[in-house]
Structure 1
Amino acid sequence: MTTQSTLPKEGGSTGEPGIPQSSDGLKAGLKNRHLSMIAIGGVIGAGLFVGSSGGIAKAGPAILLSYLLVGVLVVFVMRMLGEMAAASPNSGSFSAYADRALGRWAGFSIGWLYWFFWVVVLAVEATAGAKILEGWVPAIPQWGWALIVMVVLTATNLVSVASYGEFEFWFAGIKVVAIGIFVIIGLLAVFGVLPGSDNPGAGFAHLTDAGGFLPHGAGAILTGVLMVVFSFMGSEIVTLAAGESEDPRRAVTKATNSVIWRIAVFYLGSIFVVLTLLPWNDKSITEKGSYVAALDSIGIPAAGQIMNVIVLTAVLSCLNSGLYTASRMAFSLGERGDAPKVFAKVSGKGVPAVAILSSVVFGFVAVFFNYTSPDTVFDFLLNSSGAVALFVWLVICFTQLRMRGILLREAPEKLTVRMWLFPYLTWLTAAFIVFVIGYMVYDEGNREIALLSILVAAVVVAVGVVLDRVRKSKAADAVPAASAGVATEAVEG
């Protein structure tokens, strides 16, 4: 008797009941250049451009340590996810791996929570983009722009996965080039070698000249962590997209290995430039935004409009990727029997059209509530999805702890990427994530987000556990019935 491997195969096969044997219906239309740019751009969300000023105001120069802590956390989590994804590229990524390693309830729960997070993000980003566009063309109302943006990107995702990849290649490319130029110009100004710069005060002294490096005390570092942690969400998208690429294993390995320098340059590098061009408590940072204030300080003309274009690009990129990610997670859930089977249907163009449309419909509903009930319904949606990033990362940690043993038993040759210092660093990462969640509950400003997120997560997990038990009960009942049928046939024979 031979034992069939239960490792998920490329495209989503696991060999377990209720988990698909193959998801070959998804077309491998993403080129390596698409995956490379998705990997690079995935860590640059609109939150970096828009939300960094709030973190600087709360923590001062110590916000650099907040970004460093979260950056290290993301590097470790991506290393764990990269280990699993390189061994078994799958459109369900960590949800499919949790399904295999922890149980059906775990894959169900984290998959639906992740889907919920991204469809709420669709509403947030559509509204943010609409505000910028309305400022340029006020003849079209804000809700009209939100509708236009959502329709265009939905159509893009429905055409083919290659069209998603092409749009994201250019959106992410603009973000990457913009931050790269910002860091280079900023550093030239800091060192006093930028021609025409009118910021004589730029320099390293700004890191300590306004109350020291820790103006609000060491506790502000953790406050900063809570403010910046969610701007890193999206780095895992490349592992979902890898299943539709030409060479998924190579793409995942490359993305995992390059995450360190991406975070170092785009997050730590750009925030360092802001803090060395201006004192952290300069009012322009909160009034104009950190990047606009920094560009203004060195005499870059029309800095505000330049940054609006970049932020709009980041918003469209996040919308594009959010819709792609939500639909692929819905597709994977449908394949595994944890969502309506229709979600797993693929169009003739190789895209899960129903999963895309279902995700965008919920996104449209969320946009509607953002305009009609921003302080009630939408506020609940936003807060109850706020800590999902931390839940996802925690599940990745526990999944990797189990999957390493499974891989070593069944396919050790596929362990081309390995988590460092396993299992100690995995446990340490999980402990830090639990600590951050606990600190969110303790912190008055984040308590509501933490408690609502935990409540929603608990409900989804409860549903997942109940469904899992119902399935097992039905399977157990089916075995005696089948045995009885065989016995009856034998007697009659």
Structure 2
Amino acid sequence: MTFKDAASGQGEQGQHDLQRHLTNRHIQLIAIGGAIGTGLFMGSGKTISLAGPSIVLVYAIIGAMVFFVMRAMGELLLSNLRYKSFIDFASDLLGPWAGFFTGWTYWFCWIVTGIADVIAISAYAQFWFPDLPQWAPALACVGLLLGLNLLTVRLFGEIEFWFAMIKIVAIVTLVGTGVAMVAGGFVSPAGRAASLSNLWNDGGLFPHGAMGFFAGFQIAVFAFVGIELVGTTAAEAQDPERTLPRAINSIPVRIIIFYVCALIAIMAVTPWRDVVPGKSPFVELFVLAGLPAAAGVINFVVLTSAASSANGGVFSTSRMLYGLALKGDAPRAFYQLSRASVPSRGLLFSCGCLLLGAFLMWVVPDLVQAFTLVTTVSAILFMFVWSLILLSYIAYRRQRPALHAASKYKMPGGVAMCWACLAFFAGILVLLSLETDTRQALVVTPLWFVLLGVAYRFMLRRQPEGATVVSVPS
């Protein structure tokens, strides 16, 4: 069965084809929302304490590397519009094993990230309801997102549009407030004067030296997970040849505004030594500056950011299960779509897995410790997926030179930049081994790949008839 044949079939619940209901407006805001992760809001407090003002460089460097991964993904997706996501081009260019490992790892990435998000949501909810059980907000969030995503993909796009809009307005307001405080010579009740000199007058840009700078990469990389979410929308995007390049090309501007400028504003108003590692500096900034009422607003913003990330996870995991089932790498049940052309069974299964976050909060009551453990596992798995995207691009350049020559959206730096990014991700893994909390996650994560290897051998033995392949023009 060819990809086209499978997409046109009829099922018990409706068509087996994802519908292109996501407009340019949705795609652009989904891309922005993916670039502003929960790690920026909740994890940046710890990264600032580790790296000091040099954390600005940390986010800029990671952002640059991830941008090249997205450019590679963009050229691959647009080289053949029958590619519905990076599962398809990984399987086509590297082999069936790559599609299997990419799809299931990306599914697991978002399950782990979703658990981190529900942990974050519980932490933010305690800002208003300190006596509320930690599992209650997580349960409510998963139930709400499941109900909304079951209706239609356009509703997902609308939800993500407004979630992203809230984050954009909040960060732009934060930067503007920081600029106003610095320009007006604001002094907090603690006697701290807002000034750009706070970035270098307390130990310089690298107060903890090179090791402190490198330690910042461990947590900061998690802030960028989900930036590739736009790649999973390719099959449901209207006019992908126009919308995907626009979304990817705007990544550098987003990184400068949402990461670099925001962190500079935070550390200009509240010196880096005053940033509490276990709390969101986006909330604490206004508290330390003597504006506690605004802290409630920012807490709402970071809560919606976590909900936005969880929403993206619910969407992408269901689409990954659909794609895997389409290729015979997942149970056939996940191939069924609802009458609204939504992979409802995948949504139900993924949301059930997200509820493990509530169990984790019972096992590890320290939310910061649980968040660090989960986010490190997530970052490792996402880097694996990013690496397979880069390896797919290298194979594409070797196997399909004519398609690359005809491409209107070529990756800058080509193969050489792919190898540079792969070396960078390898370096991040080395850094993760230096700290106890991140080392634990690094030791545990390989068990997932062992499990996948066993599952893949089992799938080969009982390969179903009619497994779908992607045919690519030579």
TM-score (norm 2): 0.87
- 2:89 matches 1:97: yes
- 2:248 matches 1:256: yes
Structure 1 residue aligned with 2:67: 75
- 2:313 matches 1:322: yes
Structure 2 residue aligned with 1:367: 357
Distance 1:268 1:14, change over 3 A: farther
Counterpart Cα distance in 2 of 1:238 and 1:276: 33
Structure 2 residue aligned with 1:60: 52
Distance 1:470 1:247, change over 3 A: same
Aligned residues of 1:35 and 1:242 also touching (Cα < 8 A): no
Q: Which amino acid aligns with 1:399?
A: S
- 2:301 matches 1:310: yes
- Cα deviation, residue 153, structure 1: 0.7
What is the CA deviation profile of residues 288-343 of structure 1, one whole-angstrom value per residue up to 9, with x for unaligned ones? 53223333455545132112101111011111111001111111111111001111
Counterpart Cα distance in 2 of 1:412 and 1:308: 49
Larger mean CA deviation between 53-62 and 179-188 belongs to: 179-188
SS at match of 1:438: helix
Q: Which amino acid aligns with 2:241?
A: R
- Cα deviation, residue 123, structure 1: 2.7
Distance 1:220 1:142, change over 3 A: closer
SS at match of 2:238: coil
Aligned residues of 1:92 and 1:329 also touching (Cα < 8 A): no
Aligned residues of 2:38 and 2:302 also touching (Cα < 8 A): yes
- 2:386 matches 1:393: yes
Counterpart Cα distance in 2 of 1:279 and 1:127: 27
- Cα deviation, residue 93, structure 1: 1.9
- Cα deviation, residue 273, structure 1: 1.3
Aligned residues of 2:90 and 2:392 also touching (Cα < 8 A): yes
- Cα deviation, residue 138, structure 1: 6.8
Q: Which amino acid aligns with 1:346?
A: L
- 2:233 matches 1:237: no
Q: Percent identity?
A: 32
Counterpart Cα distance in 1 of 2:185 and 2:378: 45
Counterpart Cα distance in 2 of 1:461 and 1:94: 19
- Cα deviation, residue 394, structure 1: 1.0
Counterpart Cα distance in 2 of 1:315 and 1:149: 10
- Give the alignment of 1:70-469 within 5 angstroms: 70-89=62-81, 93-133=85-125, 135-136=127-128, 141-192=133-184, 201-282=193-274, 284-286=275-277, 289-364=280-355, 366-374=356-364, 384-409=377-402, 412-413=405-406, 415-464=407-456, 467-468=459-460
Q: Which amino acid aligns with 1:269?
A: C
Distance 1:328 1:398, change over 3 A: same
Larger mean CA deviation between 293-302 and 443-452 belongs to: 293-302
- Cα deviation, residue 467, structure 1: 3.6
Q: Which amino acid aligns with 1:396?
A: I
SS at match of 1:215: coil
- Structure 2's unaligned 5+ residue stretches are 10-14, 467-474
What is the CA deviation profile of residues 257-306 of structure 1, one whole-angstrom value per residue up to 9, with x for unaligned ones? 11111111101111111122222112x54465322333345554513211
Q: Which amino acid aligns with 2:207?
A: P
Aligned residues of 2:225 and 2:379 also touching (Cα < 8 A): no
SS at match of 2:311: helix
Structure 2 residue aligned with 1:3: none
Structure 2 residue aligned with 1:490: none
- Cα deviation, residue 441, structure 1: 3.0
Q: Which amino acid aligns with 1:104?
A: P
Counterpart Cα distance in 2 of 1:371 and 1:276: 34
Counterpart Cα distance in 2 of 1:92 and 1:457: 24
- 2:2 matches 1:43: no
Counterpart Cα distance in 2 of 1:233 and 1:30: 21
Relative contact order, higher structure (CA 8 A, sep 6+): 2
- Cα deviation, residue 373, structure 1: 2.7
Q: Which amino acid aligns with 1:344?
A: Y
- Structure 1's unaligned 5+ residue stretches are 1-5, 7-11, 476-493
Q: Which amino acid aligns with 1:132?
A: Y
Distance 1:381 1:188, change over 3 A: closer
Distance 1:85 1:300, change over 3 A: farther
Distance 1:21 1:367, change over 3 A: same
Aligned residues of 1:62 and 1:221 also touching (Cα < 8 A): yes
TM-score (norm 1): 0.84
- Cα deviation, residue 193, structure 1: 7.4
Distance 1:285 1:89, change over 3 A: farther
Aligned residues of 2:270 and 2:289 also touching (Cα < 8 A): no
